[in-house]
Amino acid sequence: MSTTHGPLASDLEHLARRRARAKLGWYAHASVYILVNLFLAFVSSRHTHSWAVFPALGWGLGLLIHGAAVWLTIPGGNLYAQLLERERAAMRRQAPH
């Protein structure tokens, strides 16, 4: 077994745990968003004015931004991986041989 195998596996494990925590955090955020906004919609329906749409839209924007950060830019995500690979390629081209 080589000496780079251990740290490499450890780095992958760390990255996998970080990605899983980020995704789990988004799922929790989305679940709370749904539950709270269902409750607010119920309370709002008992009044003459439908006001529950405003917190749903504002919070929905926050949930969308959170989702974009989790699904697009976290290490190992598609966008992050593409940008990282471009930077690595650029650095390899610029490195003295």
Q: How confident is the model at residue 3 (pLDDT cuts 50, 70, 90)?
A: very low
Residue 67 clears pLDDT 60, i.e. is over it:
yes
pLDDT given at position 21: 87
Contact 74, 18 (CB under 8 A): yes
pTM: 0.69
Contact 70, 25 (CB under 8 A): yes
pLDDT given at position 84: 72
Comparing 26 with 97, which gets the higher pLDDT? Answer: 26
